[in-house]
């Protein structure tokens, strides 16, 4: 950590006064080379430079990957192995967008008027305010910032109060990569200042774009802020992912997928399975094998210890939420198959928990858990499972296991979500579009679509031909 000079960085940037100062510099146009960075992609040299800078940033992340992973584990509790995985995933967004930077194309359009041509230019939207959560302290930043910088935008990042260090470490590396000062700005703040800082960032006239990942409730507040000056927005909000196992599924594959999609980051990801729907014929075998796999392969403990697969939850509030959902389910008739209470280690640790005999009225089915709790509902018919899956205001990820090709097409098309895992529990990759429908958000990140969120389409009617 010391090699990244984190102490120096944090003491420099902490405090609201400093945040105000940073914003003033942005307002005063002190972002160096702002005009250069705002020029669209028709200057090949500048474009290549942007691409190379992102690539250098990626290289530095890889060179410092061990330190960066330790920072994630220290600030979030995530097991070190998962933190190492996050750093690779995070760095890959910089690499991906260093390549995408060179593929920002316009169009030439022929209309019925002989003396005119339509040109479509793609131009950077401008300064982007980026507000990120604690569950992926590094990757949620690069997924947005990689796209923004590739498009030619500058960014002001407000990381989550629980995990500011990864954002600051990225700043240090951006600096080393030669990314001009003022292009990647970080404004950490405490929870009680988040509202105030968020409001300034999301209403400042110089900011053209807001990109947020976090809860649906906070997303709605930011959408209100954006409305006044009609800013562009990308929102990656909460989920309530269904995980459906049909009778035709390979039960071992389904259990492996359930383990991966439920227990990554101790259940604290927005694409974690939240509701397990299992068809009657396969139900008992799935529940038995799922419980065995949980007991055999999950180990709760300190994220720095070898063999730990489940770290603590992020804070006491998160533990209370899981506890409340378990108690509510048990009071309404659910059966605890394994786990069910706070872990004996104390602190913010919770036992990986499997519940059966779950019904649709229980809190664990109606609200996002963000913890290591897997509730199982038994169903009879495909239509019933799809109806339960779609009975949610949100729609981020959905998973199902089936070996029936016709059923696979039907269900993949019918699920009201932005991302579907078919016989697969881990779906995120930098090459594929990440995002949700309904109240899970607006826009897509990663993939060839991610850069569009930071580009304006300008139509030029070229007449007099
Ligand atoms: P969680 O409850 O899991 O922390 P949030 O959606 O509240 O999820 O937090 C995600 C990010 O949004 C964090 O960076 C947090 O500081 C920020 N945030 C929370 N409330 C506000 C707000 N009113 N305005 C701006 N940012 C906020």
Q: What angle do CA 266, 251, 279 make, to 5 degrees?
A: 95
- Tell whether ligand 1 has an atom less than 6 A from the beta carbon of residue 441: no
Pairing assessment for the beta strands 394-395 and 437-438 based on DSSP bridges: antiparallel
- Tell whether ligand 1 has an atom less than 6 A from the beta carbon of residue 215: yes
CA-based torsion, 131, 437, 216, 366: positive or negative? negative
| Among 147, 146, 136, CA closest to 174 | 146
Asked whether 168 and 10 are in contact (CB, 8 A), the reply is yes
Each residue's pLDDT tens digit, 101-135: 999 999 999 999 999 999 999 989 988 999 999 99
Lowest mean pLDDT among 14-18, 189-193, 315-319, 381-385: 14-18
CA of 272 to the centre of ligand 1 (A): 19
Q: What is the DSSP string of 22-84?
A: HHHHHHTT-STTHHHHHS-TT-HHHHHHHHHHHHHHHHHHHHTHHHHHHHHHHHH---HHHHH
**What interhelical angle do 6-13 and 165-177 show, nearest 10?**
110
Site to probe by mutation for ligand 1, drawn from 76, 129, 164, 218 as the one with most ligand atoms within 8 Å of Cβ, is: 218
Distance CA 310, CA 308 (A): 6
CA of 413 to the centre of ligand 1 (A): 32
- Tell whether ligand 1 has an atom less than 6 A from the beta carbon of residue 312: no
Q: Tell me if residue 132 falls in helix, strand or coil.
A: coil
Which residue's C-alpha comes closest to atom 14 of ligand 1?
Answer: 160
Provide the pLDDT for residue 11: 34
User: Whole-number mean pLDDT of the chain?
Assistant: 90
CA of 162 to the centre of ligand 1 (A): 10
- Tell whether ligand 1 has an atom less than 6 A from the beta carbon of residue 189: no
Residue 411, judged by CB atoms within 10 A of its CB (0-12, 13-18, 19+), counts as buried
Distance CA 376, CA 329 (A): 11
Each residue's pLDDT tens digit, 411-458: 999 999 999 999 999 999 999 999 999 999 999 999 999 999 999 999
Task: Classify the phi-psi angles of 181: left when phi > 0, otherwise alpha if psi is within -120 to 50, otherwise beta.
Answer: beta
| Mean pLDDT calculated for residue range 252-277 | 98
- State yes or no: is 236 an active-site residue: yes
Each residue's pLDDT tens digit, 132-179: 999 999 999 999 999 999 999 989 999 999 999 999 999 999 999 998
For residue 438, the surrounding DSSP H or E stretch is strand 437-438
Pairing assessment for the beta strands 455-462 and 117-124 based on DSSP bridges: antiparallel
Q: Which atom of ligand 1 is nearest to the CA of 201?
A: 25
Q: Tell me if residue 105 falls in helix, strand or coil.
A: coil
CA of 218 to the centre of ligand 1 (A): 6
CA-based torsion, 452, 457, 462, 463: positive or negative? positive
Q: What pLDDT band is residue 194 in, cutting at 50, 70 and 90?
A: very high
| Mean pLDDT calculated for residue range 29-48 | 39
Asked whether 318 and 370 are in contact (CB, 8 A), the reply is yes
| Among 365, 422, 367, 364, CA closest to 397 | 422
Provide the pLDDT for residue 117: 96
Distance CA 331, CA 35 (A): 61
- Tell whether ligand 1 has an atom less than 6 A from the beta carbon of residue 200: no
Total residues found in the chain within this entry: 465
Distance CA 173, CA 19 (A): 20
Asked whether 96 and 449 are in contact (CB, 8 A), the reply is no
CA of 14 to the centre of ligand 1 (A): 18
Asked whether 140 and 122 are in contact (CB, 8 A), the reply is no
Which residue's C-alpha comes closest to atom 16 of ligand 1?
Answer: 160
CA of 133 to the centre of ligand 1 (A): 7
- Helices first, then strands: H and E counts in the chain: 16, 18
Which residue's C-alpha comes closest to atom 25 of ligand 1?
Answer: 198
Q: Tell me if residue 338 falls in helix, strand or coil.
A: strand
DSSP state of 249: S
What's the whole-model pTM score?
Answer: 0.91
- State yes or no: is 413 an active-site residue: no
The side-by-side arrangement of strands in the sheet containing 353-356 is: 335-338, 353-356, 373-379, 273-279, 241-245, 397-401, 419-422
DSSP state of 300: B
Identify the bridge partners of residue 434 per DSSP, sorted by sequence position: 445
Distance CA 379, CA 382 (A): 8
With tokens 């065995």, the residue in question is 292
Give residues with Cβ within 8 angstroms of 328, minimum separation 6.
Answer: 362, 363, 364
Provide the pLDDT for residue 44: 28
Q: What pLDDT band is residue 182 in, cutting at 50, 70 and 90?
A: confident
Distance CA 335, CA 21 (A): 55
């Amino acid at each position: 950590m010391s090699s990244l000079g984190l102490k120096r960085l944090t003491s420099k940037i902490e405090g609201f006064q400093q945040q105000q100062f940073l914003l003033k510099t942005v307002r005063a146009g002190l972002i160096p080379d702002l005009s250069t960075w705002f020029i669209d992609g028709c200057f090949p040299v500048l474009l290549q430079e942007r691409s190379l800078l992102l690539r250098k940033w990626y290289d530095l992340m890889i060179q410092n990957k061990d330190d960066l992973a330790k920072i994630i584990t220290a600030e979030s509790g995530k097991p070190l192995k998962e933190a190492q995985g996050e750093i690779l995933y995070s760095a890959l967004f910089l690499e991906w967008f260093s390549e995408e930077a060179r593929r920002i194309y316009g169009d030439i359009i022929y209309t019925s008027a002989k003396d005119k041509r339509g040109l479509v230019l793609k131009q950077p939207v401008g300064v982007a305010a980026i507000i990120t959560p604690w569950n992926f302290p590094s990757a949620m930043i690069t997924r947005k910032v990689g796209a923004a910088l590739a498009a030619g935008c500058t960014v002001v990042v407000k990381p989550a109060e629980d995990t500011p260090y990864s954002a600051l470490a990225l700043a240090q590396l951006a600096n080393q990569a030669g990314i001009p000062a003022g292009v990647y700005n970080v404004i950490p703040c405490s929870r009680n200042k988040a509202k105030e800082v968020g409001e300034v960032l999301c209403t400042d006239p110089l900011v053209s774009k807001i990109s947020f990942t976090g809860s649906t409730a906070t997303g709605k507040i930011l959408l209100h802020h954006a409305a006044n000056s009609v800013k562009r927005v990308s929102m990656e909000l909460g989920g309530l992912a269904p995980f459906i196992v049909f009778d035709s599924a390979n039960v071992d594959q389904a259990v492996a997928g359930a383990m991966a999609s439920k227990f990554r980051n101790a259940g604290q990801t927005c694409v974690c399975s939240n509701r397990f729907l299992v068809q009657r014929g396969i139900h008992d075998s799935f529940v038995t094998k799922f419980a065995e796999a949980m007991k055999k392969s999950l180990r709760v403990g300190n994220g720095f210890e070898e063999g730990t697969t489940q770290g603590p939850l992020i804070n006491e509030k998160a533990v209370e939420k899981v506890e409340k959902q378990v108690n509510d389910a048990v009071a309404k008739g659910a059966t605890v198959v394994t786990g069910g209470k706070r872990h004996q280690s104390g602190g913010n640790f919770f036992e990986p928990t499997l519940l059966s005999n779950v019904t649709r009225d229980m809190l664990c089915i109606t609200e996002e858990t963000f913890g290591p709790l897997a509730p199982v509902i038994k169903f009879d018919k495909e239509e019933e499972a799809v109806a339960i899956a779609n009975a949610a205001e949100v729609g981020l990820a959905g998973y199902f296991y089936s070996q029936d090709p016709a059923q696979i097409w039907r269900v993949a098309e019918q699920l009201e979500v932005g991302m579907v895992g078919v016989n697969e529990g881990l779906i995120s990759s930098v090459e594929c579009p990440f995002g949700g429908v309904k109240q899970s958000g607006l826009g897509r990140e990663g993939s060839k679509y991610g850069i569009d969120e930071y580009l304006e389409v300008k139509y030029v009617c070229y007449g007099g031909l």
